Amino acid sequence: MYRLTSRLVLYSDLPADSVLMRLSAICRDLPGGDRDTLVHRVHAEVKRLLDIATTYGFDENLWQNYLTFVMIDHLNSFSLTCERNGLGDGSINAIATADFEIFRQLFTFDFSPLEAALGVDCFSRLTHYRAIRKQAGSYNREVSEKVRALSRAIAAAPDAQTVLQLVSGHLAQCGAGLFGMNRAFRVRIADGEPEFIAINNLDDVTLRDLIGYELQKAQLRANVEAFLRGRPFNNMLLYGDAGTGKSTSVKALLNEYWTQGLRVIEIYKHQFPYLADIISRVKQRHYRFVIFIDDLSFEEHEVEYKHLKAVIEGGLETRPTNVMLCATSNRRHLIRETWRDRDDMEHDGDIHRSDTVEEKLSLAARFGCAVRYSAPDRHLFEEIVKGIAARYPQIHLSEEELLAAANRFEIRHGGISGRCAQQFINSIAGGEA
């Protein structure tokens, strides 16, 4: 195995602590190595393979599933070119074909000499693995299905040229790396550097599930579709009353448009100083990224909004055409404004807003698509209740009983809203009422 991996070119920079490279090192150290130490090292890598299989729902041949995952997860000049342009006719194809021939040999690598030398049989078990089916949401089923299907196809491929076609086709359709296999992400700051973490447990909500708000949904669709098609678009601010579906609308847009290349990266207010770095890491990718900031608002003493202003329009660098900012807020102008902000107004025939007010209001002005979500009236609230209840066959109340119970519930729970309607349905579907 070590002789094979040492000949890789495009994949030569795989991390030294990856399963493949550690197993290669074990095979290198096998002659003359301490048996107990080598067994311990083998067991550690087997456990890591099992952990990866659990994370991604791999099954059948875990070794081949893992190698397939490595091939499409690794970012290199070939994978990024295929993501943007598909398989071309450049010289890099010959290099990629040679690497894929090595992976073909790794696919059918004979672990029996290693197992015989160390007295273990773990790899034989991993090539005929039967996973326990897990509940939906415990792993990303889309990633699992794509990897397992591609793994079976590669295993059946007659030559490296066929593997080249299979892998390049996947990269052109789905993309490379983390962004190619997931649709939503959060950011973690590690040693001062932003790191993207995939979000797997996503709601399967669509805009049709959001009852009412037809004008708002039409505005969002028009702006997002312009964004996806490379036409001029605006950053989006969804503002208004709590519980009216602002965040739900963003999730629904992602679910409806992710197959067209839409991706969402959620960040938090304390991460704004890293926003420029986050954007720089995605601006050259083939996808369209929405930087999502949920429940955005600033108190009088907070100044993080200045980072956001600079990134949106205020800096020297042109905003990437594949990045859109989207924020939700209960405040139209995002930043708390006090009467003290107006103390320095001038009165010279006209009333001029103070510099302080202008600075604060200019942030909201940078969101060219501002969509208001108002609390529903009683009629719409009842329509929302009935619409949500229709999705729960275990609810057997008559319409009159359902609405009477919903009206009693909202009085005790802070007034009418879509969120209140969902909470009411949860309570009766779960047996509380």
Asked if residue 169 and residue 131 are part of one domain, the reply reads yes
Residue 354 shares a structural domain with residue 390: no
Instruction: Report whether pLDDT(235) > 90.
Output: yes
Q: State the angle between helix axes of 246-257 and 214-228 in degrees (0 to 180), rounded to the nearest 10.
A: 40
Average pLDDT over residues 231-260: 92
Average pLDDT score, the chain: 86
SS3 263: strand
Q: What is the pLDDT of residue 412?
A: 86
Average pLDDT score over residue span 402-430: 88
Residues 83 and 117 in one domain: yes
Question: What is the number of alpha carbons within 13 Å of residue 269 lying toward its C-beta?
Answer: 15
Are 353 and 398 in the same domain? Answer: no
The verdict on residue 187 lying in a domain is: no
- Residue 354 has what pLDDT? 55
Q: What is the spatial order of strands in the sheet that 236-240 belongs to?
A: 193-198, 184-190, 262-266, 288-293, 323-329, 236-240, 369-373
- pLDDT bucket at 78, cuts 50 / 70 / 90: very high
| C-alpha 371 chain-centroid distance | 24
Residue 433 has pLDDT above 60, yes or no: no
* Amino acid, res. 313: E
What pTM was estimated for this model as a whole? Answer: 0.81
Q: Kindly state the tokens that stand for 162.
A: 């066929």
Structural domain contains residue 53: yes
Reported confidence tier of residue 317, pLDDT bands at 50, 70, 90: low
Is residue 344 domain-shared with residue 281, that is, in the same domain? yes
* Per-residue pLDDT reduced to its tens digit, 368-391: 899 999 989 999 999 999 999 998
Tell me the pLDDT tens digit for each residue of 110-138.
Answer: 999 999 999 988 888 888 877 665 554 45
β-bridge partners, 324:
290
pLDDT digits (tens, 9 = 90+) for 175-232: 898 898 889 999 999 888 899 999 878 888 999 999 999 999 999 999 999 999 999 9
Q: What percent of the chain has a predicted confidence (pLDDT) above 90? A: 54
Same domain, 36 and 174: yes
Structure tokens at 40: 């311990």
* 333 shares its domain with 290: yes
pLDDT at 36 exceeding the cut of 60: yes
Residue 286 lies in a domain: yes
Q: What is the pLDDT of residue 349?
A: 45
Per-residue pLDDT, averaged over 70-84, amounts to: 93
Is residue 190 included in any domain, yes or no?
no
Q: What value does the mean pLDDT take over residues 281-285? A: 90
Residue 121 resides in a domain? yes
Whether 42 and 111 share a structural domain: yes
Which of these three, 333, 353, 373, is where a domain ends?
373
Residue 323, by phi and psi: left (phi above 0), alpha (psi -120 to 50) or beta? beta
Q: 318 and 219: one domain?
A: yes
Asked, for residue 256, whether it belongs to a domain, the answer is yes
Q: Decide if pLDDT at 347 tops 50.
A: no
Comparing 349 with 293, which gets the higher pLDDT? 293
Average pLDDT over residues 163-180: 92
Together in a domain, 167 and 202: no
Domain that holds residue 95: 2-181
Average of per-residue pLDDT across 30-56: 91
pLDDT in tens, 145-161: 889 999 999 999 999 99
- Of all residues in the chain, the percent with pLDDT exceeding 70 is 86
Domain tally for the chain? 3
Shared domain for 420 and 305, answered yes or no, is: no
Residue 188 lies in a domain: no
Q: What is the pLDDT of residue 379?
A: 92
- Does residue 201 or residue 2 have the better pLDDT? 2
Burial of 320 from C-beta contacts in 10 A (0-12 / 13-18 / 19+): middle
Distance CA 31, CA 368 (A): 67
Looking at residue 185, what is its pLDDT? 94
Name the pLDDT band for 348 (thresholds 50, 70, 90). Answer: very low
The residue among 132, 156, 181 that closes a domain is 181
In a domain, 189, yes or no: no
Residues 383, 270 share a domain: no
Q: What CATH code is carried by the domain that includes residue 355?
A: 3.40.50.300
pLDDT of res. 339: 44
- What DSSP designation does 131 have? P
